[in-house]
Structure 1
């Protein structure tokens, strides 16, 4: 199910066109990265996604609800953490969450479940002024998760965190996506963070999405290759999975993504041709984001 669908979005501030016709979608349970340099249009896009500003053209749909015409129902499905969350420092973490829970009619059981999800159960009754930045980020994340949203929006969520805090935050986000089937939209300019956290990434620059691509962790087994296969006719995925040198195969918007043993691509092509499959295209998928970022955003390798 498409949780977020953005079509033909454009935004001008004064005479300057900030966002120039962008489109993308995010599926349930997917962690989607929005990657680009400062000034690329990331924050303007987020402000439109959460209803703070209106687009000049295009549409935003959240769980099938149009943000412009059905604003209340659309935003009911959204939780957001924008940089450093606003918290009452003189209250405890639990008291902060209970303030929100009372307004939104959320049960204590749901509050406790969310506290456990973000890993704050041992410090939740301490005053927020005693929290580290990482703990404040976790509490902000808990606040955004209280209503069990279908879409979680994170704007530069690891700014100011130390390496340990970044690792902890990353695991909490993955857990939220996996356990609650949430779609997560993460805006960032940090390549390594997107590499380790996201399933797909959109590269944005000068208000234009240059490409939307799958993300593959560089730590994957170096004895395997990852390819994208496009055929002119349908093929049963189970037929591919029965081939001994293929580890996995799945359909994507771009074709069939296959993980197979290194240097076995020619053998796969031979098998397909011998079985009368017409190959439209086959190419190896890059494992790292750095090269693609330099190609798409910076105009080439330095």
Structure 2
């Protein structure tokens, strides 16, 4: 694993008796896109607000760039860009004028305004009033504002919320570009598995305030199981025979189920059943989808 950019130890936030974030141990590797995934109300935004110093943890520690946030808040946050919920802007001003206000506050040269406008592909619309921007353009302007100070860490909370498919694609391409071309570590939260799957290299899944999974996206995909289902005339007798021969088999809805077996093993099982005069009606491969895996990890069956 790369150097860790963000690390939390037992991060917890309680509101009265309600535990919004419960002993969360995040590890965000440097130069990666970390997808922070969970159903609405799982604790994502509360965690992000704590990472940005907007609210204080009830207990636990936060380290960013290897330094404790509580003791180095200002120097750390100077190296962090963020977009939490909807971007704020002056609607009557142009995109360029909005960024110019921010550049003046941060004492940055006008050259940087041009750079971020080009980065988020808003140069052609830079002179238009922001009130006339589409939702996708407003989100890109918000990301431009987050990038203007050349951050090393970019934190985006649900950046594709409310966008049409074209706007979602724009933001997705922009996020993927950040680590590759500029070396920026990105932490992006979403309740949409499909969005995280397309951009993230690492993923953390939070549910009811608890981190239930954290690893690379490839490791999450490996959890998607491939089962072979075999329908026979006497499933109980058939399973007993195969178990005696050393096969790992279970019965689901009167159908034999075999976890992660090869084509050759499937053929051997079918041959064995036929030799023992069982009638084999059907052989079906069943692969658990990534969404099934997510729903299993979060203990929900709700649609995402």
Q: Once the two structures are superposed, what CA deviation does each residue of 1:249-300 show, in whole Å capped at 9, x if it has no partner?
A: xxxxxxxxxxxxxx7xxxxxxxxxxxxxxxxxxxxxx995312211101357
Q: 2:49 is paired with a residue of what secondary structure? A: helix
CA-CA distance at 1:216 after TM superposition: 4.4
Q: Distance in 2 between matches of 1:301 and 1:128?
A: 37
Q: 1:96 is paired with a residue of what secondary structure? A: helix
Matched-pair contact (CA < 8 Å) for 1:31–1:200: yes
Q: Give the TM-score normalised by the residue count of structure 1.
A: 0.74
- The verdict on how the C-alpha distance between 1:22 and 1:103 changes in structure 2, with shifts beyond 3 A counting, is same
The corresponding residue for 2:57 is: 55
The corresponding residue for 1:153 is: 155
CA-CA distance at 1:83 after TM superposition: 2.3
The corresponding residue for 1:26 is: 28
Q: Distance in 1 between matches of 2:190 and 2:58?
A: 24
The corresponding residue for 2:82 is: 80
- Alignment of 1:16 with 2:18, yes or no, is yes
Q: 2:136 aligns with which of 134, 137, 144?
A: 134
Matched-pair contact (CA < 8 Å) for 2:37–2:189: yes
Q: Give the TM-score normalised by the residue count of structure 2.
A: 0.74
Matched-pair contact (CA < 8 Å) for 1:153–1:184: yes
Gaps of 5+ in 1: 219-224, 228-262, 264-285
CA-CA distance at 1:144 after TM superposition: 0.3
Whose helix fraction is larger, Structure 1's or Structure 2's?
A: 2
Map of 1:163-174 to 2, 5 A cutoff?
Answer: 163-174=165-176
Q: Once the two structures are superposed, what CA deviation does each residue of 1:163-184 show, in whole Å capped at 9, x if it has no partner?
A: 0110011111111222111111
The corresponding residue for 1:242 is: none
Q: Distance in 1 between matches of 2:41 and 2:121?
A: 34
Number of aligned residue pairs: 241
The corresponding residue for 2:180 is: 178
Q: 1:122 is paired with a residue of what secondary structure? A: helix
Q: Once the two structures are superposed, what CA deviation does each residue of 1:34-53 show, in whole Å capped at 9, x if it has no partner?
A: 11111111111111011111
Q: Distance in 2 between matches of 1:287 and 1:107?
A: 52
Q: Distance in 2 between matches of 1:301 and 1:126?
A: 42
CA-CA distance at 1:10 after TM superposition: 1.0
Q: Distance in 1 between matches of 2:146 and 2:123?
A: 17
Q: 2:48 aligns with which of 46, 49, 62?
A: 46
Q: Distance in 2 between matches of 1:200 and 1:77?
A: 21
Tell me whether 163-172 or 9-18 shows the greater mean CA deviation: 9-18
The corresponding residue for 2:291 is: 290
Map of 1:180-195 to 2, 5 A cutoff?
Answer: 180-195=182-197
Gaps of 5+ in 2: 224-261, 263-286
The corresponding residue for 2:215 is: 213
- The verdict on how the C-alpha distance between 1:28 and 1:206 changes in structure 2, with shifts beyond 3 A counting, is same
Q: Distance in 1 between matches of 2:292 and 2:14?
A: 31
Matched-pair contact (CA < 8 Å) for 1:100–1:143: yes
